[in-house]
Each structure stands twice: as C-alpha cells, then as structure tokens.
Amino acid sequence: MDFNLSSTQLFYQLIDKDASERDLILSDVRQNSPQLARNVDELLQYANNDFAIEALEVHLSTANESTICYENLRVDRYVIGHELGRGGFAAVYYATRRDSLFHHQYAIKFFHPEILGLLGQEVLFSEAQLLANVSHSNIAKVYDAGIYNGAIYIVMEFVDGLNLRDYLSSHSLSFEQKLMLFRDICLAVDHAHQHQVIHGDLKPENILVCSDGVPKIIDFNIAQKVQRLSIGDRELITPNVLALTRNYASPEQLDNDAIDKRTDVYALGRVLYLDILRAQPRGDITKVVALATHSSPSRRYARAKDLAQDIENVRCFFPLSQESKVSVEVIKKSMIRSPVFTLCSTALVLSMMAIIMALSTATQDLNRQKLTLDEMLNDVTASVYPLNNDLTDWEAVIENRENQRKLVLDTPSRSFWPQRRGDLNSSMQVVSSSTADDIEYNIIDPMNIRLMQAEGDQEHDEIHPTDEVVTFNESVG
C-alpha cells in the first residue's frame, strides 16, 4: 500500500471496492498513517450523504424515460431528430433548422419538466444567458432557449465528435499531443470562468473531440440552482441541486459545500490523471496532478489557466510554477530544452579552460627558463669577476664559461637569450676593464657571436671562433 497518496487519491481507489476489501485496506492505513485514514473516512462519509441526490436523479430518469420523447417533433423553428444522449436531468437530441432563411445543425437539450418546478424558469434562463455570452473555439456555443410543453430547452452547437475517452482510445497520440489537447481544454475552462461560468461536471463524456482534433466542452451544468456568494475576490456557488460524477467530483462537491473555479480545476486534474495519463503519471506531471487534485481548494491551482501553464511547462521542459527558479532540475530542463546551445556553451567553456591551462603551463615553463638563465648569468659573473685578483685561476674561469656557453646554445628556447645578451656584454665589459690597472684584457666572446647568429645578424656570419683568445699586455708603470 502506498501511504504517500493524498487522501483524495486513496478515496477514489477505495470508493469502487466492496465493503470488505475497503475495510481491509483502511485497517492497514490506520496502523501506518492515522491522519490519512481519518481524512479518507471523512470523504467516504461525504460520499454516502449524496443518497438523496442519486435518488432524485433516478426518480427523474425513470419518471420521464418512458413518457417523454421529442423525436420527429417540430419545436419552434427546429426539427427534432434522433436522441444523442440522456441523463438524470435532461435528454439531448439532434436537431436542424429548416426554413427559407437558414439551415444549420444543432443539439437541443430538453430538461425534464420537474426541473422547471424545482429550480424555476428565471434561474435556468439566467444560466443559459451566461453560457450564451461565452464565445470560445473549444466551447460548444449556446444559440437559443425556450419552453416547450412545460420543459425548458437549450439550443446548442452540434459537435460531431467522440468523447475524450473514446477519442484517446481510438487515436495513437504522443505524450506531447495529449498534453497539448489537455492544455486547450484547460484554457477553454478558464475562458468560461472569466465570464463567471463554472462547469460543475467536467468529465470525458462532456468533452468531445472533433475529427480534426479540436476539443469542445459541452453540457455546462445549468441544472444546478445556485446562490452566488462573494468572499473577497472569489465568487462561490452554493448548489441546491447537485449534478456530479463521483470519480471526477471534488471533496467540496461530495460534501455539498460551496464550489468555485477550483472545483473545475480539481475535475480537470482528475481528467488528466484518469484519462490523459491513464493513471500512470511520470516525472513532473505527477506534481501537476497532485497540485490540481489537492483535497484543500486553497492548495490547488487558483485558475485553470495556471494549470494550463504548468502543462505547457512540462511539455517544453520549463520549470513548474511552484519550483525554485534556481535548482538542479531547472538546469537539467534548460539543457534538455536547448541541447544545441548547451553543447556550444559547454564546448566554449572547455575550450577556454584548455587555453587557460595551456597558457598557465607555458608561463610556468618560461618562468623556469628565466630562472635558469638568471642563475647562469650569476654564475658567469661570479666566474669572470672573482673577489680577488689572482690571475692563476683564469684557465679554470675560461673552461667554466665555455661549459656555460654550450649549455646556453643547447637550450631549445632561444627567444629569450637576445634579451639577456646585454647582460652578458655587461659582464664581459667588466672583465675587460677590471682586475688590475697594469693588465688589459681583450676577449673575443664566442657566446655573443653565436647568440647574434641565432638572431640572424649577418654581419657576424664571417666570424668563426674556434677558441677563446686572451691577450695580456703588460705595461710598464
């Protein structure tokens, strides 16, 4: 048993089970989730309280089923055809208008005469007028109304299509196509709400889908006598005669409490769960169903338009309305929504990182080379400029410089040596002008010559040093 279900979801699982099986499940729920069990018990009690409503429907249906038939009659300008459907409060017929001015197809709903006595002519016609003011491509239009032999009738648009459940069964729609279909239904309901019209009995049988895939909502529940109450910015409707379908009815309907727009939102959530998703929600759509069918009206979507927006968010991989704008899920959806942009951005970031790493490595190598050169220059300077003037060490000095020169010339990166040539020249000048007043040093530096050759100085190409020449000229003081 899944104890993560809401009380409403568990209620709908239990309501169609026999008493013994229901009690067994409830016993398990009471042990593991007492609060959930109490909520479900309350809903089951509410469901049992609609006995009088069901009795009224049965009475109206049986009292009129055998006596009232409008087929082949002419009612006002309309010729009544075959019966399209029948319920506890009314029967619907196919009809046409045939005269010299106009020819069209209609669906005419005849309410049982007892309804007129229960609700009154004024209420029924006022509700019919509200429906006539609603104009939407996904709502069946209301054209006319009247009374015939004590029965109220409403003339509506004839919709040639299948009910939602049959349409989904006979057409292989993708998940995205189903969401788009349901989104259009939600937007149509929201449009009706904007005109102060609440359906009150949304279910697959009241949603027809034409052959071109366009949904049409029919049979708005004008058979409920209503008292309109204003609470803040919300309008509530208190029904005296309740027409509902138990599997799609909200808890407040089952309790015969005041209903509002969120009652239709609940029914839409049930249609989404039972018919669009076939009771198998997955991913984010599960959160949408849970929010739409919350047992508390204040916790549901406030408008059918909000439900439609989250359906579109699921379809297009946008974050849901109740999700944080910055989260792992939001980032994942953004990546799924724009894979090319994500791929390009990732490649750009990786390229930048690779360039930065390469530059960092090159900089480290250059710094090491500079450090090596500085150390060599220090060694050369120390070798050619000893602290004392002992001339007996010059052979060792020359040999040491030759070794340093070979190391420099064998180093692969020579681009920095020209920068240091001036330092080397300075060191040589120090040697040529120091150590003793009576000794003159004339040094031809093969290192400088080779460095200049590496730079491409052609003026030194003819010089081919083979050894270092040092000339000592003693001057007589």
For the chain, give every domain's residue range. Answer: 7-48, 57-157, 161-312, 378-474
- In angstroms, rounded to a whole number, what is the distance separating the alpha carbons of residues 294 and 418? 80
Which 3 state secondary structure label does DSSP give 155? strand
Extract the tokens encoding 309.
Answer: 């927006």
CA distance 65 to 82: 15
Burial string for 451-474 (b: 16+ CB within 10 Å, else e) reads bbeeeeeeebeeeeeeeeeeeeee
- Identify whether the C-beta of residue 184 lies closer than 8 Å to the C-beta of residue 215: yes
366 CB neighbour count, 10 Å cutoff? 13
Mean pLDDT over residues 363-380, rounded? 78
Give the span between the Cα atoms of 351 and 359, in whole angstroms. Answer: 12
Residue 456 has which token pair?
A: 């491409």
Pure H helices in 68-112: none
Which of 34-38, 181-185, 253-257, 464-468 is most confident?
Answer: 181-185
Tokens of 176: 């995205």
Q: Does domain 161-312 have CATH number 1.10.510.10?
A: yes
Q: What's the average model confidence in pLDDT over 336-365?
A: 79
In CATH, what is the architecture of 57-157? 2-Layer Sandwich (3.30)
pLDDT confidence of residue 38: 80
Q: Report the pLDDT value the prediction gives residue 378, as an integer from 0 to 100.
A: 73
pLDDT, tens only, 45-61: 655 544 444 444 544 55
When pLDDT is cut at 50, 70 and 90, the band that residue 183 belongs to is very high
- Determine how many CB atoms are found less than 10 A away from the CB of residue 152: 25
* 109 is an annotated ligand-binding site residue: yes
- The per-residue pLDDT for range 405-419, each reduced to its tens digit, is 666 666 555 555 555
* Alpha-helical regions (H) of 317-338: 328-337
**pLDDT over 70 for what percent of the chain?**
62
pLDDT digits (tens, 9 = 90+) for 81-109: 999 988 767 899 999 987 767 788 999 99
What is the rounded average pLDDT for all residues in the chain? 75
Residue 180 CA to residue 159 CA, distance in Å, equals 20
Query: What residues contact 91, with CB distance under 8 A and at least 6 apart?
Result: 64, 68, 70, 83, 85, 109, 110, 112
CA distance 269 to 66: 37
User: What amino acid positions are annotated as catalytic residues?
Assistant: 201
